[in-house]
Amino acid sequence: MSRTLIVSNRLPTKGQRTAEGFTFQPSEGSLATGLGSVYQADGNVWVGWPGLSVEEPAEQAQVTEQLRQDSMAPVFLTEDEIRDFYEGFSNSTLWPTFHYFSQYATYEQAHWEAYVAVNEKFCRAVLELAGPEDTVWVHDYQLLLLPEMLRQQRPEATIGFFLHIPFPSYELVRVLPWGAQLLRGMLGADLIGFHTFGYMHHFLSAVSQLLGLPSHNGQVETRTRTVLADAFPMGIDYGRYAEAAASEAARQHARTYRQALGHTRIVLSIDRLDYSKGIAQRLRAFELLLQRYPEWRGRVSLLMLVVPSRDQVAQYAALKEEIDELVGRINAQYSNIAWNPIHYFYRSFPPGELAALYRLADVALVTPVRDGMNLVAKEFIASKTDQRGVLILSERAGAAQELADALLINPTDTGQLVEALHEALHMPVEEQQTRMAALQALVQQYDVFAWTRLFLDRLTYSKIKQQTLATD
Ligand code: G6P
């Protein structure tokens, strides 16, 4: 029977070394939370890094065995690889460039070499596990070279690739000294998926300008093969979020939070710590709301969850300081004994508590300056079982292409953001419910299972088509 191997840099679980051995907890980020529900079906395996450095062979064997029981296969990264491949090329070159933060990007030859070497390491791991009939589905910007590496070893293999972050305009790609190699790496796949048509068009334009390969209806003709690019907006496990929000545990947590918060309205914000998420801009907008509309002082609180991420990368550490300072300043200026404008948490929350927060929130403030998709917006929608609540969403999140019934804003326009907040807090219940019903219908229909099916069916179809053309 053929299986699907999911390959991504990070496994959906991350390990920790304790006195009793290794323990594992869920990873952060939309790739892990989104795909976490689907990979275990039909004997599939997820190949990736378990999130910590394990160099001792005996310990590696122990981790491998523990993960094997959950259908995962680890690829171990050394300390140097974590620094040069993960923090370096992946998160100090590709991440800022693809999110239009070129000013943060570094261009280090040593980081590039580590990126090539780690992609090769993943290639060896996949070849060991994958049979000739198996489908290999590679994910995200850390592994852009992997499809072509696999193709060279297995010319007939079925290989899909999905990019979870934006694909930027050609003008950004051409700045990268290794742009052409990265594009060739992706073109090793049979099918390349993006969250939006905009990202797909940027990719096709970069392929045409940097590699001189034209495309027609999303099909790129390389010298030897036809590669298809298409848009597949990722969904969530809708049922799981809806059930969690309706559960008795979530109700209880929500009651406890409500007692602690009193009658204030709640604006919720949840992100990994990242400059692409617009967290500082959001805080400034909230401050301006309190200035411009004093009626909200004492009556609305921002609950801001920031999940620690990539804290060894300089810009992330600097952003953390900026956020700490902004929260401190705003709270010091506006709070009183009975009310705090901002409740700020710098840690991850267990799913049961998250469900309670989604339930309680009157408004979700999802305002990234750039975001491939943003699944928090969809999780909020799925959690609103009474259909009350308003989503304010950045037009620069991939999700905005689908979620037209949210209040769409430009995250750098602080004035517009303040007006959207004011409007959301005043929105009549009927309008909230009409908008939320439309949003829910969409997010429920295109859930993560539909997304996986669409991608894998298209991959099979494009493979059969290629084989037919080859034998014609
Ligand atoms: C984004 C990326 C993922 C990544 C996640 C968490 O969602 O698209 O590939 O895994 O962030 O980031 P981290 O660096 O902790 O893996």
Q: Given a cut of 80, is residue 33 above it in pLDDT? A: no
| Residue 195 CB less than 6 A away from ligand 1 | no
pLDDT tens, residue by residue, 159-197? 999 999 999 999 999 999 999 999 999 999 999 999 999
pTM of this structure: 0.97
The closest residue, in CA terms, to atom 7 on ligand 1 is 29
| 40 pLDDT tier (thresholds 50, 70, 90) | confident
| Residue 165 CB less than 6 A away from ligand 1 | yes
Tell me whether 0.85 is exceeded by the ipTM.
yes
| 43 pLDDT tier (thresholds 50, 70, 90) | confident
Instruction: For ligand 1, pick from 49, 143, 275, 309 the residue to mutate: most ligand atoms within 8 Å of CB.
Output: 309
> What local confidence, expressed as pLDDT, does residue 146 receive?
99
Mean pLDDT of 439-453: 96
What is the distance of C-alpha 56 from the center of its chain?
A: 31
| 118 pLDDT tier (thresholds 50, 70, 90) | very high
> What local confidence, expressed as pLDDT, does residue 173 receive?
97
| 120 pLDDT tier (thresholds 50, 70, 90) | very high
Q: Given a cut of 90, is residue 307 above it in pLDDT? A: yes
Quote the ligand 1 centre to 240 CA distance (angstroms): 21
> What local confidence, expressed as pLDDT, does residue 41 receive?
72
Mean pLDDT of 378-400: 98
pLDDT tens, residue by residue, 74-85? 999 999 999 999
Quote the ligand 1 centre to 433 CA distance (angstroms): 33
Quote the ligand 1 centre to 138 CA distance (angstroms): 14
Mean pLDDT of 386-407: 98
Taking all residues of the chain, what is their mean pLDDT, rounded to a whole number?
Answer: 95
| Residue 290 CB less than 6 A away from ligand 1 | no
> What local confidence, expressed as pLDDT, does residue 472 receive?
67
Q: Given a cut of 90, is residue 252 above it in pLDDT? A: yes
> What local confidence, expressed as pLDDT, does residue 230 receive?
98
> What local confidence, expressed as pLDDT, does residue 98 receive?
98
> What local confidence, expressed as pLDDT, does residue 398 receive?
98
Mean pLDDT of 442-462: 95
